[in-house]
């Protein structure tokens, strides 16, 4: 069999070597290489788990992992609170500016406690999560020496936003078929929050409600949400189009 003198590979009856283009001397066909540019140019605590052995740390339950996270967070926040308070007292002789970050740490810690430590069915979890933000805002009002903005503006907006978010979350959770409806729920929630924010700002600033930007936002979002709801519950259900909207 013919071999390429350069590459040393057997090349059969090819007119040229497929690798370097050198002419095959034993081929009857003319060599027309189309490649002119051949440029030369065992840990004791380990035990069986998914994929074999796992460490003790990897085998912790979700609840145990969350509890560890909460504990780490608690210790870190405690250290930060103590340090901030001491520095504040050392510099100013009393607790003043440190109250803001300290109250923020408490706010985050309460939310973390509610969601990391308490069970999903615990009512206290949701009570804490709902009350945490208003109490934090009231505390800020207290520290600034003016409770009116907190009481009349911040707390109503916070409670209203929490109610809307809870409503959206429940709607998503209860939806039997999830698709475009989820996007619609979120758009409706966003529109409601905008309306609520402007309403409370108007009441606080002017004593009367005169909706402007939030109404425009809502007018833009609500029809889109309605169209998505229509697509999801009517079109995608009555025809086979639900495959189009599979999430």
Partner 1 sequence: MAVDKSQRFIHTKQVDESGAWYSLDNAGVIMPAVTDEISSGLFRVEVSLDEPVDLVLLNHALAETANRFPYFNVNLKRGFFWYYLDQCHTSPQAFPDEGSPSQHWNINRRGTRMFRVRSLDNRIAVEFSHALTDGTGGMSFLKTLLVRYFALKGIEPGATIGEGEYSDIFPIETQPDKEEYEDGYQKHFPGKLPIPEPNPRAWHMRAPRLPSGQYRVITARLDLQAVLGEAKKRNVTITELLGAVYLDALQSLWLSEPKSPKDHFISVEIPVNLRQFFKTRTNRNFSLFILLRENMQLGARGFDELVKRAHYQMRLENDPRSIARQIARNAGGTRNLLVRVVPLFIKDVAARILFAKLGETMLSGFISNLGTLHLPPGIVPHLGSVAFVPAPSKTTLTNASVISWKDDLIVTFGSLTHSRELERLFFRRLRSLGLAVSVRCRDDEE
Choose one: 44-52, 91-99, 118-126, 143-151; the region binding partner 1 (CB under 8 A).
Answer: 44-52
Task: Output 142 or 170, the one with its CB closest to partner 1.
Answer: 170
Task: Determine which residue in the list 5, 9, 142, 220 makes contact with partner 1, applying CB under 8 A.
Answer: 9
Q: Which residues pair with 200 in a beta bridge?
A: none
Does the footprint of partner 1 cover residue 182 (CB under 8 A)? Answer: yes
- Report the DSSP beta bridge partners of residue 190: none
- Give the 3-state secondary structure of 125-180: HHHHHHHHHHHHHHHHHHHHCCHHHHHHHHHHHHHHHHHHHHHHHHHHHHCCCCCH
Give CA–CA dist 243/247, Å, rounded.
Answer: 9
Query: In a 3-state reduction of DSSP, which class is residue 187?
Result: helix
Binding segment toward partner 1, per CB under 8 A, in 28-36, 70-78, 126-134, 136-144: 28-36
Q: How many residues bind partner 1 (CB under 8 A)?
A: 41
Rounded Cα gap, residues 103 and 87, in angstroms: 16
Decide if residue 10 touches partner 1 (CB under 8 A).
yes
CB of 238 to partner 1, least distance (A): 10
Would you say 22 and 11 are in contact if contact means Cβ atoms under 8 Å apart? no
Kindly tell me which residue out of 5, 26, 34, 214 binds partner 1, with binding defined by CB under 8 A: 34
Smallest separation, CB 52 to partner 1 (Å): 7
Binds partner 1 by CB under 8 A, chosen from 28, 30, 40, 94: 40
Q: How many Å apart are CA 179 and CA 13, to the nearest integer? A: 61
Contact residues for partner 1, defined by CB under 8 A: 1, 4, 7-21, 33-41, 50-52, 179-180, 182-183, 239-240, 242-247
């Amino acid at each position: 069999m013919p071999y390429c003198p350069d590459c040393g590979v057997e090349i059969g009856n090819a007119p040229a070597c497929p690798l370097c283009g050198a002419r095959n001397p034993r081929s009857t066909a003319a060599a027309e290489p189309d490649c002119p540019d051949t440029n030369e140019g065992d840990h004791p605590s380990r035990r069986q788990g998914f994929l074999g052995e796992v460490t003790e740390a990897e085998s912790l339950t979700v609840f145990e992992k969350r509890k560890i996270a909460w504990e780490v967070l608690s210790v870190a926040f405690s250290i930060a609170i103590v340090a901030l308070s001491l520095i504040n007292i050392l510099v100013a002789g009393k607790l003043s500016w440190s109250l803001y970050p300290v109250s923020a740490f408490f706010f985050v810690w309460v939310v973390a406690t509610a969601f990391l430590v308490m069970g999903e069915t615990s009512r206290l979890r949701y009570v804490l999560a709902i009350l945490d933000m208003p109490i934090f805002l009231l505390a800020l009002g207290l520290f600034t020496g003016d409770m009116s903005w907190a009481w009349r503006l911040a707390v109503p907006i916070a409670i209203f936003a929490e109610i809307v978010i809870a409503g959206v979350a429940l709607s998503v959770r209860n939806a039997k078929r999830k698709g475009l409806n989820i996007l619609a729920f979120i758009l409706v929630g966003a529109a409601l929050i905008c309306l609520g924010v402007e309403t409370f700002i108007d009441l606080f600033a002017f004593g009367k409600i005169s909706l402007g930007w939030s109404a425009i936002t809502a007018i833009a979002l609500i029809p889109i949400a309605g169209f998505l709801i229509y697509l999801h519950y009517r079109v995608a259900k009555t025809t086979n189009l639900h495959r189009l909207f599979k999430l």
